[in-house]
Each structure stands twice: as C-alpha cells, then as structure tokens.
Amino acid sequence: MNANRFGQILTLTTFGESHGPALGAVIGGCPAGVAWDQELLLKWLERRRPGHSEWVSARKEADVPEVLSGVFEGKTLGTPIAVLIRNQDARSKDYDSLQPGQRTGHADDLWRDKFSHSDPRGGGRSSGRETVARVIGASVAQMIAKHLAPEISVTGFAKQIGPFELSEDEFQTALEKSQHSMWWADQYSGRFPQAEKSKALSEFLAEAKSEGKSYGGEAQIVVRGLPGGLGQPVFHKLKSDLAAAVLGVGASFSFVLGDELASQSEGSQFHSQSSPVTYGGIRGGISTGEPIQFKVGFKPTSSVLDLAKAGRHDPCIVPRAIPVLEAMVWLVLVDHLLWQRLDRI
Amino acid sequence: MNANRFGQILTLTTFGESHGPALGAVIGGCPAGVAWDQELLLKWLERRRPGHSEWVSARKEADVPEVLSGVFEGKTLGTPIAVLIRNQDARSKDYDSLQPGQRTGHADDLWRDKFSHSDPRGGGRSSGRETVARVIGASVAQMIAKHLAPEISVTGFAKQIGPFELSEDEFQTALEKSQHSMWWADQYSGRFPQAEKSKALSEFLAEAKSEGKSYGGEAQIVVRGLPGGLGQPVFHKLKSDLAAAVLGVGASFSFVLGDELASQSEGSQFHSQSSPVTYGGIRGGISTGEPIQFKVGFKPTSSVLDLAKAGRHDPCIVPRAIPVLEAMVWLVLVDHLLWQRLDRI
Amino acid sequence: MNANRFGQILTLTTFGESHGPALGAVIGGCPAGVAWDQELLLKWLERRRPGHSEWVSARKEADVPEVLSGVFEGKTLGTPIAVLIRNQDARSKDYDSLQPGQRTGHADDLWRDKFSHSDPRGGGRSSGRETVARVIGASVAQMIAKHLAPEISVTGFAKQIGPFELSEDEFQTALEKSQHSMWWADQYSGRFPQAEKSKALSEFLAEAKSEGKSYGGEAQIVVRGLPGGLGQPVFHKLKSDLAAAVLGVGASFSFVLGDELASQSEGSQFHSQSSPVTYGGIRGGISTGEPIQFKVGFKPTSSVLDLAKAGRHDPCIVPRAIPVLEAMVWLVLVDHLLWQRLDRI
Amino acid sequence: MNANRFGQILTLTTFGESHGPALGAVIGGCPAGVAWDQELLLKWLERRRPGHSEWVSARKEADVPEVLSGVFEGKTLGTPIAVLIRNQDARSKDYDSLQPGQRTGHADDLWRDKFSHSDPRGGGRSSGRETVARVIGASVAQMIAKHLAPEISVTGFAKQIGPFELSEDEFQTALEKSQHSMWWADQYSGRFPQAEKSKALSEFLAEAKSEGKSYGGEAQIVVRGLPGGLGQPVFHKLKSDLAAAVLGVGASFSFVLGDELASQSEGSQFHSQSSPVTYGGIRGGISTGEPIQFKVGFKPTSSVLDLAKAGRHDPCIVPRAIPVLEAMVWLVLVDHLLWQRLDRI
C-alpha cells in the first residue's frame, strides 16, 4: 500500500524511525538527465535542521546525506534516487526516563493501539525526524523544476506565532520582499519576517522553552512563477493535492487557500476583484498562472515539562515546519509539472 | 493515471460530462457479501439533488440510478459496482447564448488552455453535476460501514452563509441535535439548522438569485462513532485524506480541523482541555475514537447575471455541497476501515 | 484496489457480469485531442464478436457501444472515456438447467469459496464476455498510437488448434503476409492462416462442437513498427507487462517470447544470429525496435456436453481469443508509449 | 510511477546500480507484529550469492544486510522495512577495457537510447546485481507467510541446462523429493537435482566458462500448501501476476503453467484427469489449493569472451536465477494472501 509513498509520477517513498539507525528517501519517477545539485540538497537539509537558534530543540543532527543510487557523473540516471541519513545523535536515553503515557498529546498511545507494539523511542515514524526525507525529495523536485519551469519559487514564512502576528502592512511587506528572494525569511529568528518582533519573539520562545510552554501559529506559503494548467479536474485538483501535502505535516490542522474572507464575500464583488490573491491562484482545481497563496495552521506542540527540561522541546513548531511545508509544495508542483506532459496528444 | 479515481482500497472512479449522455461511478474494492441498500442509494441521490427549494438551481435532475454490475440477489459480488445516471435535462441551450469567457470565474478558459479544446456545455467534468458520482460512492461506503462499524455517523450542516451565521450557542445546539439524527439538518432551508434564521436565509437567497448575486459560506462536518486507529503515519494521515477529499469539492477553499483557535493557544492549557473537539478527533494523523470535527470554507459561486436569469444559478453553494462533503468523508473513512484490516499480522 | 484496472498511465477499468445488465470500460489517462475513430471501435467489437462461424458459440451479441463520456466533437477531451455495452441476449436459462458443479473446469466453485456467494449465470466476471471491455480499450489505445507511432501493427493468428498446426513453411508465409495487412488472418476460419487446413479445421470444429469436444491451441502474436526504448528496467519490463496481459486472458497458460528453442541454444551462436525473431524484439526488458514475436498457449475450453448441446460452447477458444490478445498488447504498448514521455528531462 | 515497485499490498521498492555504492529494498505493507527472522534473511542472501561453485561468476559479494527501519525488538513495526546492501567488490575496472557496444546482447545500448546517458558499469539497474533486493523482499514475504499460511513451500530446480535435461522419471523423482525439503535442490551443482548428471554438468559448465560459451535452460517451480481462493478475477489473476513476476527476471523468455501439452489436448480427456499438475493449480485465475507448477525458460547469457576471461561471466543463468524466481513467487503469493483479507465483508 501507499502509506509511505507520496506523489503520482514523481514519487517520494520514505523510511526510517526517529531513533533507528537511519532515515531514507527513495525518489521514483525522476527523468533521466536532470543536473544534480548537491549544494541544493545540502542547503535544504541545513534549512530543515534544528539547532540554529537558542530556543529550538537542541539536537545537533549533522544530517550528512549519502546518495546511494540514481545519480552518475552529475546527472540523474532515470532510476530511483535513494538518499540515506544516519541518525547520529539519537539520545533515546532522554526518553528513557519517561513513563508510558507521559508524552501527553503525542500519538504514541494511538500507535500502540493500532499496531500492537510499543516503540517509545521518540515517536518512530510520526516524529518530526521523518521530515528529513521530505526535504531530500524536495531538493530533487526543485532540480527537475530548474529544467521545466525555472521561474518557480516557493516561499514560506511565519505569519503568527503565539501572541506574535504580522500586521496587514507587515504581511504585505513580507509578500513584496519574498518576490526577490525565495528564502529571505530564513534570516529572521523564527522565520517571522519582521525584525523587531522577531527579536522579541526569540526571547519569548526561549522563555517558553525554559518554562515548558508551547504555542501554535500560522505559516504562509506563496508560490510564484507557476505555469497555468497544473492540476486535474476531479480528484487531483491542485488544491486537493496541496491540502493533503501540508496536512501530512505533523501538528498542522488547517489549510486556507487565498483569502480566508472568501467565505464571507458576495460573489460579483469577489470575482471582479483584480487581485489574484483572492482566488489563491487556483480555479476549478487548476493553476491560473497567478501566484498561489495559502496558509497553514499549527497547534501547540505537545510535550511535557520533563521532556522540555531535557532540551528536546520546541516551544513552537512553525519555524521548523516551514521548510517542510515548502518541501511538500515542491513535490506537489513538480509532480503536476510532469503530469502535464500527459495532458495532450 | 489516477486523475478520476479516489481512494486506496475502496476506490471510486467517476466519469461523465455535465452535458454528455450520462454520469457514472465505478466502485472498486467493495468486499463481497455487503447487503445492498437501494433505499440508501436513492436517499443519497435525493439529498444531493438540487431543486427542492425555490432558490437553488432549478434543474430537475431526476437522478435515476441504474446499477449495472457488482450486485446480485441483494448482496455485493466483490466485483466492481457500476452505477449509471442519465442526463435527462441537460438544457445546454441555456449556455448557448453565452459567449466564450462570459462564465467569469469558471475554469472553462483554464481547461481550454490545458486540453486545447472547448466544451462550453456547462463545465464538463468540473461541473457540480459530477458530484452525483460521489454520493453513489458514499452510499456504497455507508453500506460497508454498516457491517464494519455501524455506529459511525457523518453529519454536515451550514455554519455560515453570507451574512447569516450560527451563534456559538446555536452551534452547540446544532452539535447536540446532530447526535440523535445524522441528517437532521436536511429539514432546514439551506441546511442552516436554526429555524428562524433559516427562513430569513431562504428569502435572502431567493432575492440574491433574482439579482444574480452569490455568497460564500462555511460547512461544518461532525463524525461520530469512528473507531480509533484509522489513518497512516506519514502520507495517508486521516487528516491529509480528509483535507484532500473536501478540497476536491468545487468552490471549497479551506479545511480547518477542530478548533481554529488552536493556532493561538498555549500548549499545556490546550492539551489539558478535556474537550475532544479541540483536537478534532485526530492525533498524529490517526483517529482517537473521539468525534472528528472540521469545517470547510466555500467561496461565492461564480456566475454572471445572464446565467442567473436563465435559472441555472445557485446563490450559495454550501447547502448543496454538504451532502457531497459528507459523501467524500464516508469514502475516506471506509477506505481506512478496510485498510485497518492490513495493520497487524 | 486494482483488481479490475489495467495499465499505469493509460488505464482500463472494466465492470459488468456476463449475465448482468451491461458491461463497460472506463479508459483513463487518454490525452486530450486524440481523433475519435468510431469505425475502429466498431471494427474491434465486430472482430471479437462470436457467431461469425458455424462452430463458434452461437450467441448473437449485437454489441452496440454507447460512448458515455470523454469524447466531444470528434476528439477526446482528456477526461475518462466510458463505453457501455448492453447484454441483450443473455439467455441465462441455458444455464438454469445446470446443477451446481456441472460446469466442470469452470472456476465457479472457486469464486463461491472466495466470495461466499454463488452467481451461476455464466461465470460472472471470469466469463469471456468481460473481454468486450478489453477491445474497447484497445480501440482507444490504437487511436492514440495513430498520433504517436502510426506505424505500429499488432497481428495475431492461430499457430495450432488441436491436431492442426502450421508447418514451418506455412508459419513463415503467415509472418510474411501479416506484414502487409495487420488483420489479414481474420479471413480464415479459426484465424488459422492456411486456406486448405482452415477449411478442414472448420469442419473438424463443427463436429467437435456437436460432440461436445474441445481442444487447446496456440496463438502467435507479431508486433511491428514499435519504437525502441519502451519498457522499464526492473518491474515493468516490456516482457513482464506483455506476459501479465496475455495471461490475463481466460484459458491461457503459457507465454513464450521469441524462439522457444532459446533455452536450448548456445550463446555465442544465439547472439550472433541476425534474426531479430530470436530475441523476440526485447532485450533487457525494453523494445529494440525490431519486431516482437511471442506465442500464447491455451488449454481446451471446459464445458460439459449438456452445455454444448445448448449451443453455448466453443470447441476451441484460440480463434476468439486472438483479438483479445491483440487488444491486451495494444494496451501495453500504448501505456509504454505514453510512459516514454516521462523518461527524460 | 511504479517502474521500481512490485506488488499491490505488500510492495517491494528496489534501488541501486550494480556498481554504485549500494543496493536496497524498501518493503511496504508488511503488517505489524511479524516475527523477524534474521537467519532467514541471511539464508536467502546466501542462496542468491554467486561464487559457491567453480563455474559461476567469481564475484565474492559479501552481501551483509543492514536493516535500517521497520523492525524493533524482533518484530515488524508496520512501517517500511528498509534493508541495505553495500557493494563491496564492484571491480568496475573489469569493464573498463570494454569498448562501447562490446557487451553484445546486453541492453546497455538500449538504455543509452532511452535515457540519453551511458553508465558502462555493468548494466546499472538491469544487472543481475539488482536481484539482491528481490530476495530481501522474499524473506520478509516468507516471514509473513509463517503467520498466515505456514504450510506454503516454494521449490525451484533446474529442469534443463544446455544439453542436460531431467528425464521424465528424474523429473517425477525431483518433484517427489521436493515435497519433503523446500530447498533440497541447493545441494546439487547447478541446482540440477540428479547427482550424476549434476557432476557432469559442473564440469561441462566449467569448460564452457573457460571457452566463453553460455547456455540457455529451464527452471521448474512448484508451490505447495497454498490456500485456495488467491487471485483476482480479471487483471490480477494469479497466473498473470506470476508471469509478470518471473518475466521480470533477466534473460527469462517464457512462462508455462502446468503441463505444456495442454495446448494439444482434447478437453473432456484433459478435464477428467485427476492430476492437479495438468491445471497447474490455478483455474479462472485463482488458486485451487492444489500444487502450482510452472516452468520458466532462459536464453543463454550474453557475454563476450573477453569478459568471460576476466572471470565475470556465468555460462548459464538458470542456477543463479532459481532463488530469484522463488523470491518473486513468494512476493506474489503473500501479496495475494494479504489481499484475500479484503475479499469478503
């Protein structure tokens, strides 16, 4: 079954438990002849890596990728691309002191019910650690896109974290800035793209961490440069696939395409608006060629104070989730870019 | 490819254009021996049928289903179940007077770009007409569920339509009432389950229809009686599959699982709350056994006044969309119920 | 699940029981813009139809196809193509006189074990009647091929039927003739392409029919004009997909690619032979551009004399199976032709 | 796409080039709670390993498996099982002296055409080296079968190699012996289960190797203890899936189920025979519960003398192919065993 496989043409199969020997990604359906960009892969892994800030989970995951197959002399072979990441700093002993049931809010108990076994080592497959395979997949997707539609950019940034929120002006400024540099928000603490608030947020989260508190938030995603015509009419509408993709990220609970006020709008007014934002860049399930915008809501991370004291606790998941969201979006977009090759005779 | 197929084990393949000869559903993966409930099928078709109110699109679609295969002597055979619905009142002439491009907001132009052809007859596959196949699929899913988990109920109702919105009290009352009767909201005009407001809404929408106006809104879905343990850890999380399912319905733009305030909550508080609503009944991507709640946002329908005059225009899509949303939810739930058979040795 | 779906990109989903109301084919993944050739569809149905000879099963299946979707103004829309065939001459009463277990050699008892139900009406899905959906699919595949690789031809003929067998010379003559006219063997009784033997065979089979006897045989398939490079390296080798396709036809039991003497050859000799026949046109699982040749063995049809007396009995399945084999081959080839679009960046 | 994935419920995804860093298998769909049998895995790897005889290709592949995921405390977790094998003795220099085109009969040129690249290192994915992933998958399949149907056995042996062939008596003796010990043929040189001939064969092949000659042959497979009811009615007939599986092994060219004389039999005689062998244990595409027998033909391996001199040449592929054939059969059988869980409500 497809429980661990994502995509229709460009497929990402992931494996590995968070405290097992390794995690891996197998990318199928990548055409032959794609220029391999190792730097891009490393950049994606670096972006996803926790530990670059005082308040994020302190695991120093030196995620060294080993490309096991599918690439030869700088190009993809058209065969499956397997990339392996060893778990080097598993520290499962941090969890050893936890009694069963103590990781409240985690899904461990549910997995025990489902599969009749107990793997207390940090969540197994449902751990955030698994997402390392997603950014590996995304880096390959982006390599493909450089051939097919090099103008595509996917930008994510925090829109709200706990009590911190971008004002409408700050949001518009962020949108404007993201036009020029896809990953510009990485420079801000918490990927919250407003300098003063970002600093205050950093202190706020450091304190939250020390107190074992956690907060929800919202991430904003903007896709630019996407050709029109991507998506299928009925069950693989672009919006369907994007929603499935981002809801496949841990702790996410909502997906809102375009302007959330759309539900409260009157139509003739709504449809006469020139702003493509209102539509979110997708109509009838397919891309219009205009920018696609959506936001994704996250609930507070669920970790007890004891765990927090051991230094393995993120006070808000949004900053770390952003590259993962972007990764899932790349996978969806490039899957549909390849799918488009089959549209017409 | 899978563009017109939904589901992993219980699959729904749909075909048919809105103004072609017929629409159809082929359900694969239905086990043998399921008791066939023709009344249930007819009830689903009736619930989806427009025309039961003065303000909805006036098409009198006498959706007479013909079961072509997969059922014999009152039971399913374990073979594909094909059900056909003839298009009897296509009235494509209503659309004949429209010039290309006039159906503003519709995706016709996008499909023309994508597929290099023009089928002006009411949207083809992206028409709401296609959803008749979804409720056929749902009726089969519900027949299966009666064997596997008969206590499951899926209830949808309108939470907001244009300027009309349930108050918090009215919402809680609606939740309470829906416990006792799954489809109780069907008795209210617009499936807006508050008697006085529902009457006013009916007049409001009738006027909107005459004026060629349309409105967005929100639908609320509640699932009860679902066993725990449904969903997969990574890419077929229950929330992922539900989001993809409901975003596959036309004009939908958002999916919010549980309490939308989760993004603004502090965690220890959030996770100590006893209400299962907060979580939305899903943790780590799998069902907890508690009720699942989510809401789906819809943008205003996109139709020009001329079309509205011809009587083929819904001033708000939410009332009609509710059975379709419920249908998609049934398909997801029963797919995962069957999938669960494969979880353990 | 995929039990009733064939193909990866160009997919054929079939439904319908042999004595139910109808049989149907839903073709997915057909690109938009393919010229629709209704004559070709009718020709395929005619070729598959039994009843054109005195000794074949006397069912007069007036297979009138109704194209329900996916085609508009002479071109495919890029949406699913559904084609329906009504069962008009079901005559299930012929089978009514049979007691359970009497259709020895049929799989009815096995299906009863598997699915816990009993549909005695002529085999249900495992009946030869289902193959009408295969030739519908093939006709669409061939329409696609006319755009992508119009030079492809797929020729089948009987190589051996009971005691009748083509001599080596006759076989070479048949191969030669088939170069000029793809379906030239249809002119021969039993599709056995040697005039004198064919006449004798016709009498032989008529007598076999009256005596309730049945015979096995071998069909030969030749593919010409196929581009090189079709097939995948590991699990969808062209030979794998062809073997699965032809073994999916009832009563078939063997698939031999190229020269069956290959297993008894010495290599340097074998590989130095210039004849492409030896290889069968496939190396390493992919097409070489040379003709592909293979043969398919069939066991005797399994029908008791009582059934034979009722006139519903084929003394040899090979003549009727040939168009079905060809159909399956077209589906495989065109699936891989479309797949080839994804090979390179 | 699924080019490198096998199976519907129990899936095997393989990756790795023959001269790249590693080969790997990712097994999806394995239920949780299966007892892990490391010895069985090692035994399968050992059986597949070349080098245990003087005349087989001399690569000393110390295939040390590393289980990267999906197993914990002796049981499967229900998550993907990834197993890695490093390539330790790649010796690609042996191939360096070959000019392009020299590996006559190999598919290298075809892959170059298909994918526009040239990986001369021993065949890449189409190398026999890839089959290490198949036996890994088979070992997991067999572990599952021990829970579901422990009486299943899959036995393969050589029936013919070049001029050596089992007589009918020897063949019947082999069948009889294989009842008692599944892998008993491994004790014979060439897996040719007749002591005297086996010794002569060994000398014959050693000489063939020194002379750069190669031979075709036939492998026989017998499945015992399989429950009835496995297989699907139309496109995943058990015979279809078995044929696809074994034709997915390099150099195979034929699949014959049951008695190859079936094509020349008269039916009433054929069907009255009590021997289950005649049917091959499959009717209407599904297992009858009787033994399944089929044979697989292989053409001579294609290697020029120069390569042979370098010691990298098998004079006949059949002995090495037998465990791979068995492996593919296990994957098919267990896939259908799990599929059977979905047959009835």
Exposure of B260 by Cβ count < 10 A (0-12 exposed, 13-18 middle, 19+ buried)?
middle
| Nearest CA-CA distance, residue D8 and chain A, Å | 6
Q: How far apart are CA C234 and CA D123, in angstroms?
A: 12
Exposure of D144 by Cβ count < 10 A (0-12 exposed, 13-18 middle, 19+ buried)?
buried
Q: Which amino acid is at A97?
A: S
| Nearest CA-CA distance, residue B246 and chain A, Å | 8
pLDDT digits (tens, 9 = 90+) for A243-298: 999 999 999 999 999 988 888 888 876 665 554 445 789 988 999 999 999 999 99
φ, ψ of residue D323 in degrees (nearest 5): -65, -30
C342 touches chain B (CB under 8 A): no
Question: Does B249 score more than 60 pLDDT?
Answer: yes
Chain D residue whose CA is closest to C245: D240
Query: Which chains does C contact via 3+ CB–CB distances below 8 A?
Result: A, B, D
Question: Does A328 score more than 90 pLDDT?
Answer: yes
Select, from the ranges A111-120, B83-92, C28-37, the one with the highest average predicted confidence (pLDDT).
Answer: C28-37
Chain B residue whose CA is closest to C114: B32
Q: What is the mean pLDDT of residues B227-242?
A: 95
D214 touches chain C (CB under 8 A): yes
Question: Does D258 score more than 70 pLDDT?
Answer: yes
Query: Which chains does A contact via 3+ CB–CB distances below 8 A?
Result: B, C, D
> Do A256 and B256 lie within an 8 Å CB cutoff?
yes
Question: Does A55 score more than 90 pLDDT?
Answer: no
Residues of chain C under the 70 pLDDT cut? 51-61, 89-107, 117-123, 269-278, 302-312
D293 touches chain C (CB under 8 A): no
pLDDT digits (tens, 9 = 90+) for A220-239: 999 999 999 999 989 999 99
**DSSP calls for A170-225:** HHHHHHHHHTT-TTGGGGSGGG---HHHHHHHHHHHHHHHHHT--B-EEEEEEEES
| Least confident residue range of A94-108, A233-247, D211-225, D258-272 | A94-108
Q: Tell me the CA distances in angstroms from B147 to A320, B9, C106, C117, D325, one per residue in order.
A: 43, 16, 31, 17, 40
Q: Out of C215, C216, C254, name the one closest to residue D255 (CB).
A: C254
In this predicted model, which residue has the larger pLDDT, A107 or A156? A156
CA angle A158, A160, A161 (to 5 degrees): 95
Which residues, listed in sequence order, are joined to residue D295 by a DSSP beta bridge?
A: D220, D256
Mutant choice from B210, B218, B235 vs A, greatest count of A C-beta within 10 A: B235
Q: What is the mean pLDDT of residues A52-62?
A: 57
Chain C residue whose CA is closest to D241: C244
Q: What is the mean pLDDT of residues D214-218?
A: 95
Q: For residue D33, name the pLDDT band (cuts at 50, 70, 90).
A: very high
Q: Pairing between strand B11-15 and B22-28?
A: antiparallel
B115 touches chain C (CB under 8 A): yes
The domain spans of chain B are 2-340
Tell me yes or no: is domain A2-340 CATH 1.10.3720.10: no
| pLDDT at B58 (0 to 100) | 52
Percent over 90 (pLDDT), chain A:
69
A68 touches chain B (CB under 8 A): no
Question: Does A1 score more than 80 pLDDT?
Answer: no
Q: Pull the structure tokens for residue D215.
A: 């031979």
Question: Does A307 score more than 60 pLDDT?
Answer: no
Which residues, listed in sequence order, are joined to residue A164 by a DSSP beta bridge?
A: A161
Q: How far is CA A26 from the centre of its chain?
A: 18
Q: Out of D2, D5, D28, name the one closest to residue A3 (CB).
A: D28
Nearest alpha-carbon partner for D26 in A30, A338, A22: A22
Q: What is the mean pLDDT of residues D249-265?
A: 91
> Do B341 and D342 lie within an 8 Å CB cutoff?
yes
Q: How far apart are CA A9 and CA A29, in angstroms?
A: 6
> Do D345 and B29 lie within an 8 Å CB cutoff?
no
Chain B residue whose CA is closest to C74: B117
Tally B–D CB contacts below 8 A. Answer: 44
| pLDDT at A57 (0 to 100) | 55
| pLDDT at D50 (0 to 100) | 73
Using an 8 Å CB-CB cutoff, list chain B residues near A287: 110
> Do B68 and C15 lie within an 8 Å CB cutoff?
yes
> Do C78 and B13 lie within an 8 Å CB cutoff?
no
Mutant choice from A64, A68, A84 vs D, greatest count of D C-beta within 10 A: A68
A31 touches chain C (CB under 8 A): yes
| Nearest CA-CA distance, residue D131 and chain C, Å | 9
| Nearest CA-CA distance, residue D248 and chain C, Å | 5
Which residues, listed in sequence order, are joined to residue C156 by a DSSP beta bridge?
A: C221
pLDDT digits (tens, 9 = 90+) for B125-159: 877 889 999 999 999 999 999 999 999 999 999 99
Q: For residue A118, name the pLDDT band (cuts at 50, 70, 90).
A: low
pLDDT digits (tens, 9 = 90+) for A308-320: 455 557 899 999 9
Q: Pairing between strand A153-161 and A81-86?
A: unpaired
> Do C3 and D233 lie within an 8 Å CB cutoff?
yes
CA atoms A226, A228, A231, A234: torsion sign: positive
Question: Does A155 score more than 80 pLDDT?
Answer: yes
User: To which residue do tokens 């679009």 refer?
Assistant: C341
Q: How far apart are CA D132 and CA B337, in angstroms?
A: 35
| pLDDT at B121 (0 to 100) | 47
In this predicted model, which residue has the larger pLDDT, D92 or B226? B226
| Nearest CA-CA distance, residue B8 and chain C, Å | 6
Answer yes or no: are the C-beta atoms of A175 and A275 closer than 8 Å: no
| Nearest CA-CA distance, residue D251 and chain B, Å | 30
A323 touches chain B (CB under 8 A): no
| pLDDT at B197 (0 to 100) | 97
Q: E-strand spans in chain A?
A: 5-6, 11-15, 22-28, 65-67, 71-72, 75-76, 81-86, 153-161, 164-165, 217-224, 252-257, 282-283, 286-287, 292-298
Question: Does D154 score more than 70 pLDDT?
Answer: yes
In this predicted model, which residue has the larger pLDDT, C246 or D210? C246
Question: Does B229 score more than 70 pLDDT?
Answer: yes
Question: Does B97 score more than 80 pLDDT?
Answer: no
Q: Which helix or strand (DSSP H or E) is residue A40 part of?
A: helix A38-48
pTM of the model: 0.94
Kindly provide the ipTM of the predicted complex, given to two decimals.
0.92
D148 touches chain B (CB under 8 A): yes
C147 touches chain A (CB under 8 A): yes
Nearest alpha-carbon partner for C322 in C261, C241, C251, C226: C251
Q: What is the mean pLDDT of residues A184-193?
A: 96
| pLDDT at C105 (0 to 100) | 55
Using an 8 Å CB-CB cutoff, list chain B residues near A106: 283-284
In this predicted model, which residue has the larger pLDDT, B121 or C218? C218
Nearest alpha-carbon partner for D322 in D312, D332, D330, D313: D330
Chain A residue whose CA is closest to B116: A344
> Do D229 and C113 lie within an 8 Å CB cutoff?
yes
Using an 8 Å CB-CB cutoff, list chain B residues near D338: 342
Q: For residue B101, name the pLDDT band (cuts at 50, 70, 90).
A: very low
Q: Tell me the CA distances in angstroms from A68 to A76, A141, C146, D64, one per residue in order.
A: 12, 17, 41, 16
Q: How far apart are CA D238 and CA D283, in angstroms?
A: 9
Chain B residue whose CA is closest to A218: B263
| pLDDT at A276 (0 to 100) | 43
D68 touches chain A (CB under 8 A): yes
Q: What is the mean pLDDT of residues D51-75?
A: 77
> Do D342 and B31 lie within an 8 Å CB cutoff?
yes
Using an 8 Å CB-CB cutoff, list chain D residues near A68: 15-16, 20-22, 24, 84
Using an 8 Å CB-CB cutoff, list chain C residues near B87: none
Q: For residue B110, name the pLDDT band (cuts at 50, 70, 90).
A: confident
Which residues, listed in sequence order, are joined to residue A344 by a DSSP beta bridge?
A: C32
Q: HEC string of chain D? A: CCCCEECCCCEEEEECCCCCCEEEEEEECCCECCECCHHHHHHHHHHHCCCCCCCCCCCCCCCCEEECCCEECCEECCCCEEEEEECCCCCCHHHHCCCCCCCCCCCHHHHHHHHCCCCCCCCHHHCHHHHHHHHHHHHHHHHHHHHHCCCCEEEEEEEEECCEECCHHHHHHHHHHHCCCCCHHHHCHHHCCCHHHHHHHHHHHHHHHHHCCCECEEEEEEEECCCCCCCCCCCCCHHHHHHHHHHCCCCEEEEEECCHHHHHCEHHHHHHCCCHHHCCCEECCEECCCCEEEEEEECCCCCCHHHHHCCCCCCECHHHHHHHHHHHHHHHHHHHHHHHHHCEC
C101 touches chain D (CB under 8 A): no
Question: Does B64 score more than 60 pLDDT?
Answer: yes
B14 touches chain C (CB under 8 A): yes
Question: Does A154 score more than 70 pLDDT?
Answer: yes
| Nearest CA-CA distance, residue A343 and chain D, Å | 16
> Do C344 and A31 lie within an 8 Å CB cutoff?
yes
Percent over 90 (pLDDT), chain D:
69
Q: For residue D236, name the pLDDT band (cuts at 50, 70, 90).
A: very high
| pLDDT at D128 (0 to 100) | 83
Answer yes or no: are the C-beta atoms of A153 and A51 closer than 8 Å: no
D80 touches chain A (CB under 8 A): yes
Mutant choice from B10, B13, B334 vs C, greatest count of C C-beta within 10 A: B13
Chain A residue whose CA is closest to B247: A240
3-class DSSP state of B228: coil
| Nearest CA-CA distance, residue A108 and chain C, Å | 29
pLDDT digits (tens, 9 = 90+) for D160-203: 999 999 999 999 999 999 999 999 999 999 999 999 999 999 99
| Least confident residue range of A100-109, B181-190, B194-203, D54-63 | A100-109
| pLDDT at A259 (0 to 100) | 85
Question: Does A306 score more than 60 pLDDT?
Answer: no
Mutant choice from B114, B211, B340 vs A, greatest count of A C-beta within 10 A: B114
| pLDDT at C106 (0 to 100) | 60
Interface of B with A in 233-272 (CB under 8 A): 233-237, 239-245, 247-248, 250, 252-258, 260, 262-268, 270-271
Q: Give the length of chain C.
A: 345
> Do B288 and A254 lie within an 8 Å CB cutoff?
no
> Do D215 and C267 lie within an 8 Å CB cutoff?
yes
